[in-house]
């Protein structure tokens, strides 16, 4: 089991989510970590639960409003059982990325291809939303461009249809290992951003940096002149002065090169080349998975359309009874409940989800 509570193996997953009722309990816990709060009358208290199999509907005892557990998720109005959705989200976020609907249908044992296709499509939609917050507010950032191959069917090998992708990645530093422990590589990759650009001119590249990297950040690039304006635009620009030597470039920009190399392997291996038309969606999906590689629970929740930063319930409180364990009322939790009341429903905004993400990724 992952320290954050996410099952890391199939048997574990089966143990945590054995049936639809377990999945429903999970949804309830995520949405109301402090206990059910009616979105209509805002009363806090145990709802009425329908005995009928694994109902996704709870009823407020005060105002009798029915509240669907799936209303704000990708599972909304679906007739597919929750457990199938959960298995699907698990596969999409942990197994080989970019699998086909046919593989998906077989793995989930679905009788209809259409159902598998719809499920896969909806789950993946949660993985391709571009992220909007700026990176580099706490770490130096490497920026570089690369060519990504398009379809070359029947045209042989070559650079035709190749498209330019610009990327930015945070370079984080590990604290020294405790005595007696083996020191891992000192630097490692933080958050990544990738964008398809029409050319590698100054206009496109500086626009990308301005939209994705926090102002004032340390930005490392090669000696390409298109980056010359970065210092003037408020960044601490560290260009590679003596350019042209591949080894020096490698040493100056190691992380973005690793990311580009992984990206190309993934595109070739699982998609056999992607047309430029769809490339940005694939870039977003790649970035999503890359940025959450240490946080599988966040990815799993996002695929299902759940609040990405919500903490996972433990196995114990999923099974200890009907109601989720009540955490102590810290100022943050009280504020969260008040926000919930203000808004009138349990859905967190995109903004909050992103902030939650950042909290998760920087701890």
Tokens standing for residue 220: 């490392």
The C-alpha atoms of residue 361 and residue 338 are separated, in whole angstroms, by: 25
Q: Which residues contact 121 (CB under 8 A, 6 or more apart)?
A: 101
Among residues 15 and 59, whose Cβ is nearest to Zn ion?
Answer: 59
Q: Is 341 among the residues that bind Zn ion (CB under 5 A)?
A: no
Q: Which residues contact 67 (CB under 8 A, 6 or more apart)?
A: 38, 39, 40, 47, 57, 58, 59, 60
CB of 325 to Zn ion, least distance (A): 23
Among residues 48 and 319, whose Cβ is nearest to Zn ion?
Answer: 48
Which stretch, 60-68, 129-137, 184-192, 300-308, contacts Zn ion (CB under 5 A)? 60-68
Among residues 44 and 101, whose Cβ is nearest to Zn ion?
Answer: 44
Kindly list the distances between the CA atom of residue 310 and the CA atoms of 36, 83, 110, 195, 261, in Å, as whole numbers in the listed order: 15, 19, 30, 28, 32
Q: Is 57 among the residues that bind Zn ion (CB under 5 A)?
A: no
Please count the other Cβ atoms lying within 10 Å of the Cβ belonging to residue 210: 15
Q: Is 334 among the residues that bind Zn ion (CB under 5 A)?
A: no
Nearest to 75 by CA among 31, 40, 39, 35: 31
CB of 306 to Zn ion, least distance (A): 22
Kindly list the distances between the CA atom of residue 213 and the CA atoms of 133, 159, 194, 234, 238, in Å, as whole numbers in the listed order: 8, 30, 12, 11, 14
Among the listed residues 24, 56, 58, 60, the single contact to Zn ion using CB under 5 A: 60
The C-alpha atoms of residue 33 and residue 140 are separated, in whole angstroms, by: 36
Pattern of binders to Zn ion over 19-38, x per CB under 5 A?
-------------------x
Among residues 201 and 344, whose Cβ is nearest to Zn ion?
Answer: 344
Report the site for Zn ion in 97-156 (rule: CB under 5 A).
none
CB of 321 to Zn ion, least distance (A): 22
One-character DSSP codes across 313-348: PPHHHHHSSSSPPPPP--HHHHHHHHHHHHHTSSPP
Report the site for Zn ion in 216-275 (rule: CB under 5 A).
none
Q: Is 62 among the residues that bind Zn ion (CB under 5 A)?
A: yes
**DSSP code of residue 29:** H
Among residues 62 and 360, whose Cβ is nearest to Zn ion?
Answer: 62
Which stretch, 65-73, 226-234, 289-297, 334-342, contacts Zn ion (CB under 5 A)? 65-73
Among the listed residues 41, 147, 233, 338, the single contact to Zn ion using CB under 5 A: 41
Among residues 38 and 303, whose Cβ is nearest to Zn ion?
Answer: 38
Among residues 234 and 344, whose Cβ is nearest to Zn ion?
Answer: 344
Q: Is 40 among the residues that bind Zn ion (CB under 5 A)?
A: yes
CB of 18 to Zn ion, least distance (A): 31
Among residues 41 and 147, whose Cβ is nearest to Zn ion?
Answer: 41
Task: Let me know: does 230 contact 209? Beta carbons within 8 Å.
Answer: yes
- Total interface residues for Zn ion by CB under 5 A: 7
The C-alpha atoms of residue 205 and residue 352 are separated, in whole angstroms, by: 29
For Zn ion, the binding residues (CB under 5 A) are 38, 40-41, 60, 62-63, 65
């Amino acid at each position: 089991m992952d320290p954050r509570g996410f099952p890391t193996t199939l048997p574990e997953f089966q143990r945590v989510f054995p049936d639809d009722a377990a999945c429903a309990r999970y949804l309830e816990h995520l949405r109301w970590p402090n206990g059910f709060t009616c979105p209509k009358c805002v009363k806090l208290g145990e709802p009425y639960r329908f005995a009928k199999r694994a109902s996704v509907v709870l009823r407020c005892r005060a105002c009798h409003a029915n509240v669907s557990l799936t209303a704000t998720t990708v599972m909304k109005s679906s007739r597919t059982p929750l457990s199938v959705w959960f298995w699907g989200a698990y596969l999409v976020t942990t197994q080989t990325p970019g699998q086909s609907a046919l593989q998906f249908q077989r793995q989930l044992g679905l009788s209809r291809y259409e159902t598998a296709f719809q499920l896969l499509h909806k789950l993946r939609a949660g993985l391709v939303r571009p992220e909007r917050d700026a990176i580099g507010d706490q770490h130096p950032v490497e920026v570089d461009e690369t060519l990504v191959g398009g379809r070359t069917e029947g045209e042989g090998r070559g650079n035709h249809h190749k498209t330019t992708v610009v990327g930015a990645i945070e370079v984080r530093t590990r604290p020294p290992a405790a005595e007696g422990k083996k020191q891992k590589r000192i630097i490692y990759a933080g958050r990544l951003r990738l964008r398809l650009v029409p050319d590698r001119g100054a206009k496109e590249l500086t626009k990308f940096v301005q939209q994705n990297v926090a102002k004032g950040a340390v930005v490392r690039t090669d000696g390409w002149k298109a980056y010359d304006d970065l210092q003037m635009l408020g960044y601490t620009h560290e260009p590679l002065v003596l350019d042209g030597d591949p080894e020096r470039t490698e040493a100056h920009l190691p992380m973005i090169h690793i990311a580009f190399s992984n990206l190309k392997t993934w595109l070739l291996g699982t998609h056999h080349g992607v047309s430029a038309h769809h490339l940005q969606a694939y870039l977003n999906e790649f970035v999503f998975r890359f940025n959450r590689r240490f946080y599988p629970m966040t990815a799993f929740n996002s695929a299902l359309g759940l609040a990405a930063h919500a903490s996972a319930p433990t196995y114990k409180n999923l099974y200890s009874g009907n109601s989720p364990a009540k955490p102590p009322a810290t100022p943050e939790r009280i504020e969260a409940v008040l926000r919930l009341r203000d808004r009138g429903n349990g859905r967190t905004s995109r903004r909050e989800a992103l902030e939650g993400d950042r909290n998760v990724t920087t701890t």
